[in-house]
Structure 1
Amino acid sequence: MTRSVYVTGIDRGDGRQVVELGVMELLTRQVDRVGVFRPLVHDGPDRLFDLLRARYRLSQDAASVYGMDYHEASALQAEQGTDELVSRLVDRFHQVARDYEVVLVLGTDFAATQLPDELALNARLANEFGAWVLPVVGGKNQTAESVRAEARNAYRAYDGLGCDVLAMVVNRVAPGDQEVIAERLTARVPVPCYVLPDEPALSAPTVAQITHALGGRVLLGDDAGLARDALDFVFGGAMLPNFLNALTPGCLVVTPGDRADLVVGALAAHSAGTPPIAGVLLTLNEQPSEEILRLAARLAPGTPVISVTGNSFPTATELFALEGKLNAATPRKAETALGLFERHVDGAGLLSRLEVSRSGRVTPMMFEHKLIEQARSDRRRVVLPEGTEERVLRAADVLLRRGVCDLTLLGDVEAIRKKAADLGIDLAGSQLIDPQTSELREKFAEEYAALRAHKGVTVELAHDVVADVNYFGTLMVQDGLADGMVSGSVHSTAATIRPAFEIIKTKPDAKIVSSVFFMCLADKVLVYGDCAVNPDPNAEQLADISVQSATTAEQFGVDPKVAMLSYSTGTSGSGADVDKVREATELARGQRPDLKIEGPIQYDAAVEPSVAATKLPDSEVAGQATVLIFPDLNTGNNTYKAVQRSAGAIAVGPVLQGLRKPVNDLSRGALVQDIVNTVAITAIQAQSPADTANTASA
């Protein structure tokens, strides 16, 4: 039977989209096929469904998502009664439910719907759908006592109408009231109660939304600038010194278009990072001269300057009435919303009550979700040496909003802040360090000189070496100031991992450092090793790679069934290359007798059951291998790229293994999501018990 959860409310302004997005995130982690159904819809675009479709790559036909529009529903209810309305909506729901394992139902929005007793209608629909109900109560601008009473009454209302209430969510409460509301509700309501604090960034409109709402004209600025949240409004009228003192982080400056001094002053402050602003809104349909605009563009590239026709007072009235919305064009708001939901809602508990069993398939999205969830479960600190690189900063933005791990960014601190300001990224909560000026530099120089004294490295020479961001970051990991490091978006692989070889070194039980890629196919995840580090490993090294790769697979939830690949299967071939794989297989079995290992074996026999049935019918691995070990780098690197490009697989990695502490390398073509995934993997690797042995191989 298809499971479903019906997210509903009791009034407008509850910020329910945060909960709907959070529940969708939970469901897509657990199952492959999740459908969406909105019983009643307004005319115009459905911003939330557009966001869900884009973020979760939904293939569901948009026409199947909706029952009917509110006007049609109101007329039908008036003419033929509620039973007929409910009957038609139930029919349409079941047309969706039959194609999906779980359906997320988005309840009515209580926004000028002309439906009598809207709460009762939602309850009736949920009961007819056989859905769990998740009511959301808004608490903005209310006292703790009134919020508690409203939430308790909402529970009683839905429970009294026969609904199976999954949990209660109270949203947008004053942060100071969060704890007392949660305590009182838990004592009075017999289902889990979750209380989410108000998050200003979610209700803040973006500069693009403001521009659209006011019919503004973009004089300067790029897409990244227009995506910034306007967290505050500062109206320019004072003289420049007083005006600059009034600026706040993330504010939108509103000033008459003929105040060139305020425009230049605000953008100069932004360029200096004191403070970074969202942009400038010019009123009265006035705009500065071309010379001033050119200066503004040089001062703060990408920062929006918008012109509107109205004067300041009506513009202010419209601005204060605007509220930010989650939609496909605001992905950073979605990350903030998910971070908020995940910090304050017990997702595992909700899924347990829903009784949604995990799908046997593992899609790329499910694997990525699992990485984020696993990293967040035991937060670690990861150092990112490339702190001024745009992709790294955008990845840091996602990681911080989702609460995946703590971050340290290396580089010129003012340059990092300026770049982050230009991108509209808030690095609050992260640590910024400049290796050139850090007080740690002297200490690290002494440590590095001691480690490399046998190579003739003096403290003076080490002083220059450790100023390199990769060496500095590696020493932070070595000294426990960070739990792992990720670099390589603008550095070569050698520049990233050489410091780790010199400083962190290999685990006592590892003969070499090797790597794996997680290959996310349409319905499963395979582990490929080694496709990035060792050109031509011998039998002993190949055995070590297979054991390390199996351990890595286990760490990330992949049941290791190891295939030692060759151009022949079983005893059908001979020669030095096959003999190497055969010997490596026996050595690996000796090291890990508990592992299921097969080799030598060809790729098709390793992954295709029909081929395996012919070539190795009695094998525990053939036809179902999950860890595939290539005999050399040439074969492995070409194979992973061929599968990635030809089969549309997502390749996550390379993930280094064998080091005493985790350091991972990025491709110089890495996308933002690649960096997010690699940082999450590094944080997970750091969750394993630290290797505290004093001896390590070079």
Structure 2
Amino acid sequence: MTRSVYVTGIDRGDGRQVVELGVMELLTRHVDRVGVFRPLVHDGPDRLFELLRARYRLSQPAETVFGLGYEEAARLQAEQGTDELVSQLVERFHRVAKDHEYVLVLGSDYAATSLPAELNLNARLANEFGAAVLPVVGGQGQEAASVRAEAHNAYRAYHSLGCDVVALIVNRVAPAQHPAVAEQLSAHLPVPCYALPEDGALSAPTVGQIVHALGAEVLLGDDSGLARDARDFVFGGAMLPTFLKALTPGCLVVTPGDRADLVIGSLAAHSAGAPSIAGVLLTLDERPGPDIMALANRLAPGTPVVSVSGGSFPTAAELFAVEGKLNAAAPRKAETALGLFERHVDTAELTNRISVARSGRVTPMMFEHELIERSRAGRRRVVLPEGNEERVLRAADVLLRRDVCDLTLLGEEAAVRKRAADLAIDLEGAQIIDPQVSPLRERFAELYGKLRAHKGVTYELAYDVVADVSYFGTLMVQEGLADGMVSGAVHSTAATIRPAFEIIKTKPGAQIVSSVFFMCLADRVLVYGDCAVNPDPDAEQLADIAIQSAATAAQFGVEPRIAMLSYSTGTSGSGADVDKVRKATELVRERRPDLLVEGPIQYDAAVDAAVAKTKLPDSEVAGRATVLVFPDLNTGNNTYKAVQRSANAVAVGPVLQGLRKPVNDLSRGALVQDIVNTVAITAIQAQGAAPGGSPAADA
């Protein structure tokens, strides 16, 4: 039977979209096919569903998501009664339920509707759907006692109507009131109750949302600039020296368009990082001349300059009415919302209470979710040497908003912060270190000089070497100032891992450093090794790669069943290449008799049960292999790329193994999500042995 959870409220203004997004995140961690159903919908696009569809790659047809429009529902209820309205909505719900393992139901929003007893209708629909109920209460501007009373009322209202209330969430609590609210709720309600504090970043509109709401014209600026949050409004009227003192970080400057001095002054301040602004809004339909606009563009490329026809006073009234909204065009707000939800909700407890059974399949999204969840659970610090690189900064933005791990960025601090400001990225919570001027440089030079003295490295030479960001980051890991390092977005593989070979070195029992890719296919996760480091390993090295890869697989929840790949299966072939694989297989069995290993074996016999039944019918690995070890780099690298492209697989890696402490290399074509995944993997590697019961265990 399809399970479902009904997220609902008692009044408007509860910011319920944060909870709905958070619950969707929980569901997609465990369930392959999640459906969405909104019984009652307003005219126009549904911003939340568009966000869910984009973020979670939903294939559900949009027409099945929505039940009835509010006006149509009110008319049906008035003419034919509530029973007929409910009957039609139940029928539409079951159309969704039959095609999905779990359904997230989005309750009505109490906003400008003409439906009587809206709470009662939500309760009845939840009961008819057989859905667990998760009420959300808005706590904005209320004292702790008032919030507690509202929460009690919400619980009693739904419980008295026969609903299965599994938990309750109070949202938008004043930060100063949050500890008291959380304490009182946990002590006085019969179900778990979670309190989420108000987060200004969620209510702050982006510049793009302001442009849309005011019908403004964009004169300058790019997509990154329009995605900046306008955290404050500063209205220009004073002379420039006084005006500059009023600027605040992330503010939107509002000034008449004929005040070129304020336009250029605020953009110059942004360029200098003192402070970084969201953009400039020109009023009165006045615009600076082309020379001024050209200078503005050179001063702060990408920073929005937009224009409206109204004066400052009516524009101000409109601005203060614009509120930030979660939608597909503001993905960073979604990361902030998820970080807020996951910090303040016991997600394991809530998952259990809404009865989410884990799917037998492991999708790429489920694997990526698991990485984030495990990284957050055992917090570690990861150093990112390429602190000026845009993709690295965007990944840092996601990691910080989701509270995944602690971060250190390397680079000149002013340059890093300036680049982040240009990209509308808030680095609050990240540590920034400039190796050139850091007090650690002398300490690291002494250490590196001693480590490499046998190679003729003097202190003076070491002092120059450790200023390199890759060496500096590696030494941070070696000295315990960071738990792991991720680099390679702009540096070569050699530049990333050479310092690790020299400083961190291989861990006991490992002969070489090797790598694996996690290949996230549609229904399973496979581990490929070695596809990135060792060109032509001999039998001893190949056996070491297999044992290391099995350990890495187990650490990330993939039960290791090792296939030692070759162009022949079993005893069907001979030759130097096959003999190497056969010897490596024997060495694995000698060294680790506890591991399941088969080789030599062809790829099809390793992963296809039908082929395995013909070629190796008695093998415990054939047809079920999860760790595939390639005989050389040429085969491995080409195979992983072929599978990645032709099967539309997500390739996570390369993940280095065999080092005493984790250092991981990125492809220079790495996407932001690739960097996020690699940082999460590095943090998990730094945690040590992984707990059992990971979702990929049956992959």
TM-score range, shorter chain: over 0.9
Deviation at 1:185, TM superposition (A): 1.4
Structure 2 residue 135 is the aligned partner of structure 1 residue 135: yes
Amino acid at match of 1:608: D
**1:181 partner amino acid:** V
Cα distance between partner residues in 2 of 1:460 and 1:482: 25
Residue in structure 1 matched with residue 203 of structure 2 by the alignment = 203
Deviations 1:118-160 (A, max 9, x none): 0010000000000000000011111121111111110010001
Q: How does 1:66-145 map to 2 (within 5 A)?
A: 66-145=66-145
Corresponding residue for residue 655 of structure 1:
655
Task: Name segments (4+ residues, structure 1) moved above 6 Å.
Answer: none
Instruction: For 1:575 and 1:19, locate their aligned partners in 2 and report how far apart those are by CA, in whole Å.
Output: 61
Distance 1:588 1:250 in 2: 58
- Indicate the residue corresponding to 1:693 in structure 2: none
Q: What are the ranges of 5 or more consecutive residues in structure 2 without an aligned counterpart?
A: 691-699
Q: Partners of 2:371 and 2:572 in 1: how far apart?
A: 40
> Match of 2:666, as an amino acid?
L
Match of 1:508, SS state, is: coil
Structure 2 letter corresponding to 1:113: T
8 Å CA contact 2:555–2:689 kept in 1: the answer is no
Q: Which residue of 2 aligns with 1:684?
A: 684
Aligned to 1:215: 215
Post-superposition offset of 1:576: 1.4
Partner of 2:176: helix, strand, or coil? Answer: helix
Residue 264 of structure 1 and its aligned partner are, at CA, apart by 1.1
Aligned residue for 2:394, secondary structure, equals helix
C-alpha displacement of 1:574: 1.4
Alignment partner of 1:669 is 2:650: no
CA distance in 2, matches of 1:36, 1:463: 58
Within 2, Cα distance between the matches of 1:267 and 1:590? Answer: 68
For 2:470, the equivalent position in structure 1 comes to: 470
Give how far 1:177 is off.
Answer: 1.0
In the aligned structure 1, how far is the partner of 2:182 from the partner of 2:155?
A: 14
- Which secondary structure does the structure 2 equivalent of 1:574 belong to? coil
Write the distance in 2 (CA, Å) between the matches of 1:137 and 1:260. Answer: 47
Q: Indicate the residue corresponding to 1:319 in structure 2.
A: 319
State the shift of 1:689 in Å. 6.3
Map residues 489-528 of structure 1 onto 2, 5 A cutoff.
Answer: 489-528=489-528
Where does residue 531 of structure 1 map in the other structure? 531
C-alpha displacement of 1:586: 1.3
Q: 1:317 corresponds to which letter in structure 2?
A: A
Amino acid in structure 1 at the alignment position of 2:456: G
Corresponding residue number in structure 2 for 1:157:
157
Q: Give 1:37's aligned amino acid.
A: F
Q: Using the alignment, how far apart are the partners of 1:429 and 1:182 within structure 2?
A: 24
Matched residues in 1 for 2:646 and 2:162: separation?
52
Establish whether residue 408 from structure 1 lines up as the match of residue 375 from structure 2: no
Residue 648 of structure 2 aligns to a residue whose secondary structure is: coil
| Pairwise CA distance, 1:278 | 0.4
1:610 partnered with 2:610: yes
**Residue-pair matches, total:** 690
- 8 A contact 2:232–2:250 mirrored in 1: yes
- Residue type of the partner of 2:386? E
Distance 2:134 2:535 in 1: 55
Partner of 1:37: 37
Report whether the alignment pairs 1:419 with 2:383.
no
* Counterpart residue number, 1:64: 64
- Equivalent AA in structure 1 for residue 257 of structure 2: G
Distance 1:511 1:528 in 2: 19
- Residue-by-residue CA offset, 1:178-209 (whole Å, 9 max, x unaligned): 11111111221110000000001111111011
Report matched runs for 1:386-465 at 5 Å. 386-465=386-465
DSSP-derived class of the 2:268 partner: helix
- The AA in structure 1 aligned to 2:329 is A
Query: Which residue is 1:696 aligned to?
Result: none
Amino acid at match of 2:41: V
Q: Match for residue 242 of structure 1?
A: 242
Higher deviation after alignment, 631-640 or 139-148: 139-148
Map of 1:11 onto structure 2: 11
| Letter paired with 1:662 | P
| DSSP 3-state at the match of 1:74 | helix
Letter paired with 1:219: L
Partner of 1:181: 181
| Structure 1: stretches of 5+ with no match in the other structure | 691-698
Question: 1:695 maps to which residue?
Answer: none
Match of 1:333 in 2: 333
Deviation (angstroms), 1:613: 0.3
Amino acid at match of 1:54: A
Question: How do 1:558-569 residues align onto structure 2 when only pairs under 5 Å count?
Answer: 558-569=558-569
Aligned to 2:55: 55
Deviation at 1:591, TM superposition (A): 1.8
Does the CA contact (< 8 Å) of 2:267 and 2:300 recur in 1? Answer: yes
TM superposition score normalised by structure 2? 0.98
Cα distance in 2 between the residues matched to 1:381 and 1:238: 45
Cα deviation, residue 590, structure 1:
1.8
Letter in structure 2 aligned against 1:245 = K
Q: Which residue of 1 aligns with 2:596?
A: 596
Distance across 2 between alignment mates of 1:174 and 1:239? 36
Most deviating of 214-223 and 238-247: 238-247
TM-score (norm 1): 0.98
SS at match of 1:121: helix
Distance in structure 1 (CA, Å) of the matches to 2:604 and 2:459: 55
Over aligned residues, Cα RMSD in angstroms? 0.9
Give the C-alpha shift of residue 509 in structure 1.
0.9
Amino acid aligned to 2:326: L
Change (3 A) 1:128 1:577: same
SS at match of 1:176: coil
The DSSP-based 3-state class of the residue aligned with 1:628 is: strand
Aligned partner letter, 2:411: G
Report what 1:225 is aligned to: 225
CA deviations 1:17-51 (Å, max 9, x no partner) are 00000000000000100000000000000000000
- Percent of pairs identical after alignment? 81
Tell me the equivalent position of 1:481: 481
Give the counterpart letter for 1:481 in structure 2: L
2:356 aligns to what?
356
Alignment deviations for residues 341-376 of structure 1 (CA, whole Å, 9 cap, x no partner)? 011111111111122211110111111111111101
- Equivalent residue for 2:279? 279
* 1:398-448 per-position Cα deviation (integer Å, ceiling 9, x unaligned): 000000111100011111011001000000000001111111111100100
Query: How far is 1:323 from its partner?
Result: 0.4
Q: What is the CA-CA distance between 1:261 and the residue it aligns to?
A: 1.1
- Cross-structure match for 1:252: 252
Describe the SS at the equivalent of 2:480: coil
| Residue 589 of structure 1, CA deviation | 1.4
Counterpart secondary structure, 2:388:
coil
Q: Deviations over 1:581-636 (max 9, x none)?
A: 11111111122211111111110100000000011111110000000000111111
Residues of 1 paired with 2:408 and 2:634: CA distance?
Answer: 35
Q: Distance in 2 between matches of 1:634 and 1:355?
A: 46
Q: Distance in 2 between matches of 1:147 and 1:286?
A: 47
* Deviation, structure 1 residue 162: 0.5
Rounded to whole Å, the distance in 1 between the matches of 2:689 and 2:159 is 46
Cα distance in 2 for partners of 1:661, 1:326 equals 39
State how far apart, in whole Å, the 2-side matches of 1:384 and 1:648 are.
Answer: 28
In 2, Cα distance between equivalents of 1:6 and 1:15: 16
| Corresponding residue SS for 1:275 | coil
CA–CA distance in 1 between the matches of 2:429 and 2:130? 43
How many angstroms apart in 2 are the aligned matches of 1:110 and 1:689? 49
Q: Deviations over 1:305-355 (max 9, x none)?
A: 011000000000000011011011000000000000011111111111122
Distance of 1:146 and 1:79 partners within structure 2: 39
Which letter does structure 1 place at the counterpart of 2:346? D
Letter of the aligned partner of 1:330 in structure 2? A
The one-letter amino acid paired with 1:464 is D
Query: How is 1:357-372 mapped onto 2 (pairs within 5 angstroms)?
Result: 357-372=357-372
Structure 1: distance between partners of 2:438 and 2:246: 32
Q: Point out the more displaced range, 265-274 or 623-632.
A: 265-274
**Structure 2 CA distance for partners of 1:689 and 1:57, relative to 1, 3 Å:** closer
User: Aligned partners of 2:9 and 2:236: how far apart in 1?
Assistant: 40
What is the CA–CA distance in structure 2 between the aligned matches of 1:356 and 1:618, rounded to whole Å?
A: 36
